[in-house]
Amino acid sequence: MVAVPAAAPVAVVGMAWTTALGRDLGAVWERLLAGETGFVEVPSPHRLRNLLAAVVEPLGDDAATRLRSMTAETVRRALGHARLTPNGALLVLGTSLGAFLDDARERESALGAWAEDVARAVEVDRCISLSTACSSGSDAILVGAELIRAGVVEYCICGGADVLTLSKRLAHSALSTMSPTRPRPFDVRHDGMLLGEGAGVLVLESEARARRRGAVPLALLRGVGSANDASSMTTPDMAARGARLAIQRSLEDAGLRAEEVGLINAHGSATQANDKAEKDAFRALFSQGPRPVVFATKCAFGHSLGATGALEAMSVVMALQRQEVPPIAGLEQPDPDFPLPLPVGAPVRCDARVGLSLTLGFGGFDTSLIFQACA
């Protein structure tokens, strides 16, 4: 096998999120460490498996308006955190379906029209939109990193956003992917996820440019990898081939070995099929040598669909910075067959230098992102 040289790392120079636990980076992280969740009862005119959802206040505007305003506000905060202006930037945004299913006005235009509206609102001239189900936020980051590496742009504003809608709640209730109780990833009682909403935005910049202007990166995006197992419209490949291939590609891209990964933010949807696929992928790739600690945040933020990959990537960066991972909310009786350590009931100290974020989307979209601490 011919060795593939590692691709140039990309600097993460700014971040912002909007979640059911709040907006401030540090305050939300503290709530995650405390094991808090953002779930509240959200009324529905139709019968659902569960009325709980993790929502961003306020709920007054229609879904399409909320998607645009929430995303634009999050982009502005991320740029402010990076101390950059929108001049010359490229905006790369992903969503699963946004308000597309519930708003007739949305269906009259292309699915990416919302992202173009956000770009105008934040005064960014160039915009790319994508939709790869639950991997949309992760894939936006992957695309931004590759464009920087290729020299197309020097910095990108990348992320994902999604809002809670009636159609999504009905669909996941009908699919039985919605838990009738609470999300419990990797627990023997796992019975599904609960929906959430939010936005996550990372500002990526070539490391050389960041250093030249005196920016201190929050982390380096070392490797990216994607695959599509095309197993079914909704179910992952139970042999975890797509997940394993995405992880392997991200490791090769980073020029790293599996044993160098110290923490993993799992997809952690708490459905039996997804939990099994991740468990088998982790066993195949990480059970030899030092074992990375695995945590999950959908059980706190809710499954925010197109936003989730970006929120989870940010959680990896926060964990690397703080040297601590939050407990998995709802996890009380870990699957005895799970091959890697899990944080149960309390935060776990972790001196990892390298962290991985894995997303598994409907339609077989698998994406892996590898970050490295700077300090």
Strand order in the sheet with 155-162: 126-130, 90-94, 155-162, 198-206, 10-18, 219-228, 365-372, 354-361, 263-265, 293-295
Between CA 95 and CA 238 the distance in angstroms is 25
3-state SS, residue 356: strand
Q: Please identify which of the residues 127, 172, 299, 303 carries the catalytic annotation.
A: 303
For 33, the token pair is 């460490």
HSE of 170, CA atoms in CB hemisphere, 13 A: 9
For 21, the token pair is 């636990």
Q: How far is CA 125 from CA 45, 121, 347, in A?
A: 41, 10, 42
Q: Please identify which of the residues 134, 156, 158, 350 carries the catalytic annotation.
A: 134
- Answer for the pair 195, 172: CB distance below 8 angstroms, yes or no: yes
Between CA 37 and CA 182 the distance in angstroms is 10
267 is an active site residue = yes
Q: Please identify which of the residues 127, 158, 267, 299 carries the catalytic annotation.
A: 267
Q: Burial-class residue 175 by CB neighbours within 10 Å (0-12, 13-18, 19+).
A: middle
Between CA 28 and CA 228 the distance in angstroms is 32
172 is an active site residue = no
Residue 27: other Cβ atoms inside 10 A: 11
303 is an active site residue = yes
Known catalytic residues? 134, 267, 303
